[in-house]
């Protein structure tokens, strides 16, 4: 499955949950498929979607909070996995689109072909950890994690191949922040 196909499966499963996106193609794919006020797009700063998502989950314990992350982003902020596991928000689902490359900047290889990120999440203490490789598996895995107390982790293994024609997020960072804060109350 290509990264785009993973998004086509995942995005329709999202209802009214706040979603915090990692930078690069992760933001761009989600924005192109379905822009929402409750989407936070981290434009620019790599590695921070997970800590922003943790903060939102801790401040809004009555909402399920979803992070959509990339393998390079997770590797850059690996300590945040430990922070999430230690804080243990029950309402957090951390989804990682793992293409084993830094695709947004030219597909340089990351380390996730050697380091299993789902094993790192499991050993830090995430409550439920699933890994899927086929697009047909995404729906059941995501819904199962949504129904289980977190913090939960879903690794979606994909082949590189986002469409370079996918547009960029057109909102400014200020607009993204303002409407996200209003949407989550
Ligand atoms: C601190 C920082 N370092 C580097 C970059 C450049 N950069 C933007 S996206 C990206 C790759 C992200 O990789 P990954 O999370 O695997 O997502 P993918 O592009 O593969 O979807 C890089 C290196 C950045 N924006 N910020
Ligand atoms: Mg990647």
Instruction: Express each pLDDT in 50-84 by its tens digit.
Output: 999 999 999 999 999 999 999 999 999 999 999 99
CATH H-level, domain 3-184: superfamily? Thiamin diphosphate (ThDP)-binding fold, Pyr/PP domains (3.40.50.970)
**Where do the domains of the chain lie?**
3-184
| Distance in Å, CA 62 to ligand 1 centroid | 31
| Ligand 1 atom with the shortest distance to the CA of 107 | 20
Nearest to 183 by CA among 27, 83, 41: 41
Q: Which percentage of the chain shows pLDDT scores above 70?
A: 100
What is the pTM assigned to this prediction? 0.98
How far apart CA 47 and CA 38 sit, in angstroms, is 20
| Cβ 71 under 6 angstroms from ligand 1 | yes
**Over residues 18-27, mean pLDDT:** 97
Report CA(102)–ligand 1 centroid distance (Å).
6
**4 has a pLDDT exceeding 90:** yes
Ligand nearest to the CA of 77: 1
DSSP output for 43-56: -S-TT-HHHHHHHH
Q: State the distance from the centre of ligand 2 to the C-alpha of 59, rounded, in angstroms.
A: 28
Residue with tokens 């029950």: 90
Tell me which residue has its CA closest to atom 1 in ligand 1. Answer: 46
Answer yes or no: is the C-beta of 29 below 6 A from any ligand 1 atom: no
pLDDT of residue 100: 98
- State how far the Cα of 155 lies from the Cα of 132, in Å rounded to an integer: 6
> Which residues have a Cβ under 8 Å from the Cβ of 98 and sit 6 or more positions away?
70, 71, 112, 117, 155, 156, 157, 158
Q: Are 91 and 61 in contact (CB under 8 A)?
A: yes
**Do residues 72 and 96 touch, judged by C-beta distance below 8 A?**
no
Q: Which helix (H) or strand (E) segment is 132 a member of?
A: strand 128-132
Contacts of 88 (CB under 8 A, 6+ apart): 125, 127, 150, 151
The tens digit of pLDDT for each residue in 126-174 reads 999 999 999 999 999 999 999 999 999 999 999 998 888 889 999 999 9
pLDDT averaged over every residue in the chain = 97
What pLDDT, on a 0 to 100 scale, did the predictor assign at position 164?
83
In short, whether 23's Cβ falls inside 6 Å of ligand 1 is yes
The rounded Å distance from CA 71 to ligand 1 centre is 9
Cβ of 46 closer than 6 Å to ligand 1, yes or no, is yes
Question: Do 112 and 131 form a contact (C-beta atoms < 8 A)?
Answer: no
Q: How confident is the model at residue 179 (pLDDT cuts 50, 70, 90)?
A: very high
Nearest to 107 by CA among 27, 67, 68, 162: 162
């Amino acid at each position: 499955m290509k990264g785009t196909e993973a998004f086509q499966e995942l995005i329709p499963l999202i209802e009214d949950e706040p979603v915090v996106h990692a930078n690069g193609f992760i933001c761009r794919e989600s924005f192109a498929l379905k822009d929402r006020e409750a989407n936070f797009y981290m434009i620019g700063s790599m590695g921070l979607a997970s800590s922003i998502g943790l903060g939102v989950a801790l401040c809004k314990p009555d909402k399920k909070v979803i992070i959509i992350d990339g393998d390079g982003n997770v590797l850059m902020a690996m300590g945040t996995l430990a922070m999430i596991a230690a804080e243990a928000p029950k309402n957090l689902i951390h989804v990682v689109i793992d293409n084993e490359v830094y695709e947004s900047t030219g597909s340089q290889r990351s380390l996730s072909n050697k380091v299993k990120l789902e094993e790192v999440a499991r050993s830090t203490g995430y409550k439920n950890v699933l890994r899927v490789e086929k697009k047909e598996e995404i729906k059941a895995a995501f819904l199962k994690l949504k129904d289980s107390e977190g913090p939960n982790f879903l690794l979606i293994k994909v082949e590189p191949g986002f469409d370079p024609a996918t547009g960029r997020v057109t909102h400014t960072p200020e607009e993204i922040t303002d409407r996200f804060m209003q949407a989550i109350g």
